[in-house]
Structure 1
Amino acid sequence: MKSKELSELIFEGVVTLTIVYLLYMGMLMILARLVSAPPVLLRQMPSLRSVVLIVDAFMSIYRDIFQWIAAIFAGVFTWWRLARRYKQMQLGHILDELHYIAAGNFDYRIDANNSGSYVDVVNSINTLVESTVEAMEEERKIEQSKDELITNVSHDIRTPLTSIIGYLGLIEAGQFETNEEATRYIHIAYTKALQMKVLVDDLFEYTRVRQPTTPLLLKTINLGHFLEQVAADYELESRKRNVEIEVFLKTDPLMVEVDVDKIARVFNNLISNALKYGHGATWIHIEAEKIGSEVVIAVKNNGERIPSKALEEVFGRFYRVENSRSKETGGTGLGLAIAQSIVALHGGYIYAESDEKETKFVLHLPLEQKGKKEEKANA
């Protein structure tokens, strides 16, 4: 409490006690006048005469009782006035601190320990401020994410586009010696155009699956057969890289309700990433089992370990563990972000773990899409 406020409380107490004292003295004067009433008045008012006689006989007792009553009243009334004034001061402090926060000092919090009876109000205000700050921070991150998205897309489109313009410019200017050289320029431009198409397709898919209202074309499938088919699609590429892909089912048969095309996209991304970035891997294992009301699927490889810091960001848009996008690996960096969004659409979640022995991406999916409004596909 500030010295000025303490002075105000003392002044308030003195004024209150003075008022009570004046009331007390006024009551004493009234009683004294009654006792000393003129005899003529007493003869005219017999009832008043009896009262005066009683008061006169017990004057000392009445005075003591009245003094005690007056003292108690003075204490209670003074305490009430001071308590009310103190609450007004506390409320004034809270309003001043609210104005301070509203001025842009969102890191400031009101001290609830000195808020007295307003502690619940202060806690509610602090909670509201924290929620507002979190919402503002989330909005800032969204804006930053949009800026990063535009920057990354612009970079990934500009690089192949520059090559396309360059090679087509050489052909347009006739700066080639043979038809074979012109054909090579056209082929390079065509390849770069395909890279741009992949980026645009991935970006479109990413923005689409990020919407929680995106419909799922649901169908109940045998997960074992589905995973075997997905693995078979990569048989040729895995042989070229001397990597063996195997599927292991701890629960068979394992029936699950999913959007087949979207879930296939998830496993295509995971297996493709394992082949491209699992340097030194000799095997890729896809393991699935039923646990309670969900299915747990792990895509593992014994390749190079992913750094711990990278694991926290691996599902981010355009994130790549490598520092550069090489021609060998290619890709847009949207694959895992798309996979995470698709899994979330199914009411599940995905995470990554990596150590010296193996790297694995683990999916948790509900066996049935209960309570959803998606349109089911015909079997």
Structure 2
Amino acid sequence: MKLLRSIDTISGKLMIRFTIIILVTLFILAISLSYLFQNYYYGSTEKKFIDQGNKIAALLQRSLYEGNYDETLFFLRDSQRFFEGNVWIVDSKGLILVTTQQKELQGVRLNKNEVKQVFQGKIVKKRGFSYYFGEPVLFVAVPINFANKVVGAVFVYSPLAGIGSTLNDLRRLVLYAALIAIILTLILSFTLSKSFSRPLKRMQKISLNMAHGDFDERVVIESEDEVGQLAQSFNYLADKLQETIASLQEKEEQQRRFVADVSHELRTPLTSIQGFVKALRDGVYESEQDKEEYYQIILSEVKRLIRLVNDLLDLSQIELGQIKMEMEILDLKGIIKNSIRNLMPKIKDKELRIVIELADDLPLVFADRDRIEQVLINLISNAIDFTPQGETIKVISKREDDEVLVMIKDTGPGIPVEELNNIWNRFHKVDKARTRDRGGTGLGLSIVREIIRHHQGEVWVESELGKGSTFIFSLLVADK
């Protein structure tokens, strides 16, 4: 079972395929080499025999023509040690005059069919079984010509068994080379398949860990090929998943806090309303003046609930993009002055002095009139709430590069450094008790931030404890 599992892996499949390919290649190569070498060896041997036959024929042609067979016999026996193969000398009648081997064949007359072609002046080549030797042989027959007449023939031959042993040695050599190649192939294919499968197995392990919530591990990139690119993409995916999950967890935590904050903000006025309604129902008040005061408190808390619900709806719609911004070219000076004019009763109640410093060359901006006015009212209203009675609020606006900056500066208590990033969160209040007394919902700065973001601008705060705060936002210049 373990062997089957290892074969069923990518590395096992790759190794098997590599081995099969190499084996098939070596098999075809061995057969091809054997066939080619056999043909080459036979052809080379035949050529040698023909050359040798021609030389012997040139030396014997006169003596054979003159019938001097003793001289022929003496030459052949004296020279046989220099011959490549065995030699027969045949006269014009097909009679074997002399041989270098098998002396018993001397005097034997060859079949006419065997000598017909050679006595027609042709060189004959043959491979196969020989009646005279009882085994396969390779032989050539070269005519001996003299005075334009065939006077005999030289037969040069060699048993194929001797040639076959050489070919067997070659086949054995190819077999040994194939075995060595197979061993090397197994080693290389194992190493190569492991190099392919190792990062894939690592990805599998890490993906299982990711499924159980562990996103810390990454695949080590060992190459720049397709597997390396896959590992790089896997790591990128893991990073993005980790970021997405972290973001979702953060949003989930924010949602839980939001629900808790909304519940708290709703519970306080509802509890107050419930208490005073119950007191009015039960007649628990001392005078008509107390009764009227109870009604005023209930009305105030209802208005506060309405503001809270309206702010929540505004913030939700802005975040979801459900409120379409009516963007147009605007004169920011007029919007600033109009916003301050709307807040003048509140400014006079606290006997505050407001200073407006608008640059003479203040350019037009591209914005939604109502939403920018909402931003200004929120920020100026906050400045009014936190500025001590009789102090000064400054509203400053100037151009900076391709943006217009608007600054609302108060002389209030300032914001602690650790709170500067938190004030933009929903329901966050630096001083919860004082904010509740002023009727704030804790959503104003969140709404401001979302509106400015939809205008492709930025909003931030600079503050120093005991000296006040400056809220700044930017808008794009219309002629950008």
Superposition deviation, residue 187 in structure 1: 1.6
Task: Find the partner of 1:94 among 190, 202, 212.
Answer: 202
Aligned CA distance change for structure 1 residues 242 and 281 (closer, same or farther; 3 Å): closer
User: 5+ residue gaps in structure 2?
Assistant: 1-5, 43-126, 131-135, 142-156
For 2:176 and 2:389, locate their aligned partners in 1 and report how far apart those are by CA, in whole Å: 96
Q: Is 2:402 aligned against 1:307?
A: no
Aligned twin of 2:469: 359
Task: Find the partner of 1:180 among 282, 289, 303.
Answer: 289
The secondary structure found in structure 2 opposite 1:226 is helix
- What CA deviation, in whole Å up to 9, does each residue of 1:63-119 have, x standing for no partner? 9x9799879956974564134322344145224324433431332322324578533
Task: Find the partner of 2:263 among 142, 148, 154.
Answer: 154
For 1:165 and 1:45, locate their aligned partners in 2 and report how far apart those are by CA, in whole Å: 129
User: 5+ residue gaps in structure 1?
Assistant: 371-379
- What CA deviation, in whole Å up to 9, does each residue of 1:34-57 have, x standing for no partner? 6899995342699xx99x9xx99x
Q: Which has the higher contact order (CA 8 A, sep 6+)?
A: 1
Aligned twin of 1:84: 192
1:112 and 1:122 in contact (8 A); partners too: yes
Spell out the pairing of 1:342-357 with structure 2 (5 A cutoff): 342-355=451-464
Task: Find the partner of 2:216 among 108, 115, 126.
Answer: 108
2:427 and 2:443 in contact (8 A); partners too: yes
Q: Is 2:391 aligned against 1:282?
A: yes
The secondary structure found in structure 2 opposite 1:324 is helix
Q: More displaced, 91-100 or 269-278?
A: 91-100
For 1:141 and 1:343, locate their aligned partners in 2 and report how far apart those are by CA, in whole Å: 23
The secondary structure found in structure 2 opposite 1:194 is helix
Q: Which structure is larger by alpha-carbon Rg, 1 or 2?
A: 2
Aligned twin of 2:443: 334
Corresponding letter in the other structure for 2:211? A
Task: Find the partner of 1:192 among 285, 295, 301.
Answer: 301
2:273 and 2:298 in contact (8 A); partners too: yes
For 2:432 and 2:323, locate their aligned partners in 1 and report how far apart those are by CA, in whole Å: 33
Q: Is 2:312 aligned against 1:203?
A: yes
Superposition deviation, residue 192 in structure 1: 1.5
Q: Is 2:341 aligned against 1:246?
A: no
Corresponding letter in the other structure for 2:317? R
Superposition deviation, residue 263 in structure 1: 0.8
Spell out the pairing of 1:123-134 with structure 2 (5 A cutoff): 123-134=232-243
Aligned CA distance change for structure 1 residues 363 and 45 (closer, same or farther; 3 Å): farther
The secondary structure found in structure 2 opposite 1:106 is coil
Aligned twin of 2:138: 43
For 1:166 and 1:336, locate their aligned partners in 2 and report how far apart those are by CA, in whole Å: 31
For 1:302 and 1:296, locate their aligned partners in 2 and report how far apart those are by CA, in whole Å: 20
The secondary structure found in structure 1 opposite 2:377 is helix
Aligned CA distance change for structure 1 residues 233 and 86 (closer, same or farther; 3 Å): same
Aligned CA distance change for structure 1 residues 354 and 216 (closer, same or farther; 3 Å): same
Counting aligned pairs with the same residue, the percent is 22
Superposition deviation, residue 142 in structure 1: 2.6
For 2:174 and 2:389, locate their aligned partners in 1 and report how far apart those are by CA, in whole Å: 100
Aligned CA distance change for structure 1 residues 71 and 347 (closer, same or farther; 3 Å): same
2:362 and 2:404 in contact (8 A); partners too: no
Tell me the TM-score normalised to structure 1 length: 0.76
Aligned CA distance change for structure 1 residues 177 and 282 (closer, same or farther; 3 Å): closer
Over 6 Å off, 4+ runs: 33-39, 65-72
- What CA deviation, in whole Å up to 9, does each residue of 1:104-151 have, x standing for no partner? 133232232457853322221121122122222222233332222222
For the aligned residue pairs, the C-alpha RMSD in angstroms reads: 4.4
Tell me the TM-score normalised to structure 2 length: 0.61
1:249 and 1:289 in contact (8 A); partners too: yes
1:280 and 1:302 in contact (8 A); partners too: no
For 2:137 and 2:388, locate their aligned partners in 1 and report how far apart those are by CA, in whole Å: 119
1:235 and 1:245 in contact (8 A); partners too: no
Superposition deviation, residue 264 in structure 1: 0.8
Corresponding letter in the other structure for 1:202? D
Corresponding letter in the other structure for 1:298? M
Aligned CA distance change for structure 1 residues 329 and 44 (closer, same or farther; 3 Å): farther
For 1:45 and 1:277, locate their aligned partners in 2 and report how far apart those are by CA, in whole Å: 124
Aligned CA distance change for structure 1 residues 319 and 332 (closer, same or farther; 3 Å): same
Aligned twin of 2:374: 265
For 1:313 and 1:296, locate their aligned partners in 2 and report how far apart those are by CA, in whole Å: 22
Superposition deviation, residue 250 in structure 1: 2.7
Q: More displaced, 303-312 or 361-370?
A: 361-370
For 1:99 and 1:244, locate their aligned partners in 2 and report how far apart those are by CA, in whole Å: 64
